[in-house]
A = this chain, B = another copy of it.
């Protein structure tokens, strides 16, 4: 059996603690506010939100551990008969002030059905307002290096899954430059033990701060114009479209009466929409759109 759900809960909470502490140090101004909540059906969470920082305009680093009876609709969607579930995870979205600093998202999660079926899921992906190829390369290299420590095909498999998942179908645009996305990871599928898969998820979680710190420090002092700020707001509009229309976690939460303010912490402080906005050919905005396609090899 190996690692137990109690151990995973402790491990993931430690990761939430480390990340919130490190992000406060990085920001240098704002602090996380914490809200503890309980779920009616069982379990609860620690929502931690940061707002109006030096670097971080709005972000959340959430932990939850919930259990109970699975709704019939979800059982149908999973194609399972088992009805007792347990789920725990850490979920992060950060919207920075400076348009040259990217939006980042990370999630690690563990799921159990009737204490028998067990799997891990998660991922990390980057949504730059302006795609900077060296930064995109750095991001993918770091993520690949974590993946390579565990399995030679993880990076390639999970990178493809991220391209497919973080895709705004109605715009024919990826949300950003992707990263990795994995779900239902088990020993049967990977040849790894549950302990190894758990350690992989922890390593991915712990890679978040050094990666984001590097990307923040590369770009935090860049100046920006009003037009560049407006572009950031428009890109955030796309982020809102993805999260409300497609994101499984968001829609699952909305449909199952999750804690709304924790689920929708992923939405930015401000997003804009302009009718049929078309960037000038050859502009940095135009170049960014050209990068928002599936299948780019960044490493």
Chain A interface (Cβ within 8 Å of chain B)? 33, 35, 49, 51, 58, 60, 169-171, 233, 237, 240-241, 244-245, 251, 254, 257, 260-261, 264-265, 267-276
Question: Cβ of B49 and Cβ of A275 under 8 Å apart?
Answer: yes
Q: How many copies does the complex hold?
A: 2
Output the nearest chain B residue to A271 by Cβ-Cβ distance: B271
Q: A60-B275, A240-B271 are in contact. List 15 more A-B contacts (CB 8 A).
A: A33-B275, A171-B260, A244-B244, A244-B245, A245-B251, A261-B275, A265-B275, A267-B273, A268-B273, A269-B272, A269-B273, A269-B274, A270-B270, A270-B271, A270-B273
Determine the residue in chain B with the shortest Cβ distance to A251: B245
Chain B CB within 10 Å — which of A170, A233, A275 has the most?
A275
With the chains together, A260 CA to B170 CA distance in Å?
Answer: 7
- Residues of B near A270 (CB, < 8 A) are 233, 270-273
Chain B residue nearest in CB terms to A51: B275
Q: Which residues of B contact A276 (CB under 8 A)?
A: 35, 49, 261
> Are A264 and B268 in contact, CB atoms less than 8 angstroms apart?
no
Q: How far is the CB of A25 from chain B (nearest CB, A)?
A: 21
- Within the complex, the shortest CB–CB distance from A292 to chain B, in Å, comes to 15
Least distance between A41 CB and chain B CB atoms (Å): 16
Set of chain B residues within 8 Å of A241, measured between Cβ atoms: 244, 264
Show 14 residue pairs from A and B whose CB-CB distance is below 8 angstroms, ordered by the A residue: A49-B276, A51-B275, A58-B273, A170-B257, A170-B260, A233-B270, A240-B240, A240-B271, A241-B264, A244-B245, A245-B254, A268-B273, A270-B271, A270-B273
Known: A245-B254, A254-B170. A58 touches B271 (CB 8 A): no
Q: List B contacts of A274 (CB < 8 A).
A: 51, 269
Report the bound CA distance from A233 to B273 in whole Å: 13
Q: How far is the CB of A200 from chain B (nearest CB, A)?
A: 31
- List the B side residues contacting A49 at CB < 8 Å: 275-276
CA distance A244 to B264 in the complex (A): 13
Bound-state Cα–Cα, A33 to B275, Å: 10
Complex Cα gap A245–B241 (Å): 9
Interfacial chain B residues near A267, Cβ < 8 Å: 237, 273
A267: shortest Cβ distance to chain B, in Å?
4
Q: Which chain B positions have C-beta within 8 A of A265?
A: 275
Could you say which residues of chain B place their CB within 8 Å of the CB of A35? 276
Q: Give min CB distance, A259 to chain B, whole Å.
A: 10
CB distance from A92 to the nearest CB of B (A): 14
C-alpha spacing A268/B276, complex, angstroms: 13
